[in-house]
Amino acid sequence: MKWYADRPSRFLRQVLADLIVLVWAGGWIWLGVQVHDTVERLRGPGDRLVSAGSGLRDVFTSAAASADKLPLVGGSLANALGAGVQAGATLANAGNGEIDTAESLALWVPVALVLGPVLFALAIWLPLRIRYARTAAAAKRLARLDGGEDLLALRALTRLPLRSLARVSGDPAGDWRHGRHKVIRELAALEQTALGLRRSS
């Protein structure tokens, strides 16, 4: 496949279009990273909840273990302090839930933000580039074959604007049918020029 034209004007337009698509995609990816970092900060309160809940649970666990050693009331006191252990565990679990939610959002919000615009640009740009590459490669290959000029001239007759054809001949289709080599050569060259390719010698 031939990805870029030979002629500078079309070559520059193709390079510019490629750069615009790259910058477009890069800009959205950069924005996605910024959104990811911003949303990731939402896990801060969750981290603090986990830390506070773990600390509270550890304090009450230690207190319950100490209280259990007291004679007579130790068991009852340890059971009462067990509620504090449970409260600390609940607090830590709530913090972990908030962290999971923040991490999930930090992943999927940027993906959703980036995917749409990038896929939209690729859906327009990529088929055009592939079609050009295939067409240009086929035209280069045809230009080297016997009878290739006839095919390129026929393509020019079916594809190019009438005003361009009229500059080649007063009756370009008739001249092509009658095999007039000069007109066929000029029509083939016109098709190559339209594709941004150098004229075959």
Span 34-91, pLDDT tens digits? 999 998 888 888 888 888 888 878 777 777 677 666 676 666 666 666 777 787 888 8
Is 155 in contact with 191 (CB distance < 8 Å)? yes
> Do the domain assignments include residue 136?
no
Q: Which of 63, 114, 103 is nearest to 84 (CA)?
A: 63
Is 98 in contact with 46 (CB distance < 8 Å)? yes
119 and 68 fall within a common domain: yes
pLDDT value, residue 78: 67
200 pLDDT exceeds 80? Answer: no
Domain boundary among 106, 131, 156: 131
Q: Quick one: tokens of 126?
A: 């990529």
110 and 50 fall within a common domain: yes
pLDDT value, residue 146: 84
pLDDT value, residue 199: 77
- Between CA 17 and CA 128 the distance in angstroms is 11
Q: Which domain holds residue 171?
A: 144-201
Write down the pTM of the prediction: 0.69
DSSP state of 31: H
Is 177 in contact with 165 (CB distance < 8 Å)? no
95 and 168 fall within a common domain: no
For the stretch 2-44, pLDDT in tens is 899 988 989 999 999 999 999 999 999 999 999 999 988 888 8
103 and 149 fall within a common domain: no
109 and 26 fall within a common domain: yes
pLDDT value, residue 22: 95
74 and 157 fall within a common domain: no
**Mean pLDDT value of segment 149-170:** 90
**Mean pLDDT value of segment 122-143:** 91
Report the domain count for the chain. Answer: 2
pLDDT value, residue 120: 93
Q: Quick one: tokens of 176?
A: 């092509």
**Mean pLDDT value of segment 120-143:** 91
CB atoms within 10 A of CB 101: 14
97 pLDDT exceeds 90? Answer: no
- Between CA 28 and CA 24 the distance in angstroms is 6
Q: Quick one: tokens of 187?
A: 């029509």
Q: How much of the chain, in percent, has pLDDT values that exceed 90?
A: 35
72 and 122 fall within a common domain: yes
User: Cα 30 to chain center, whole Å?
Assistant: 12
185 and 120 fall within a common domain: no
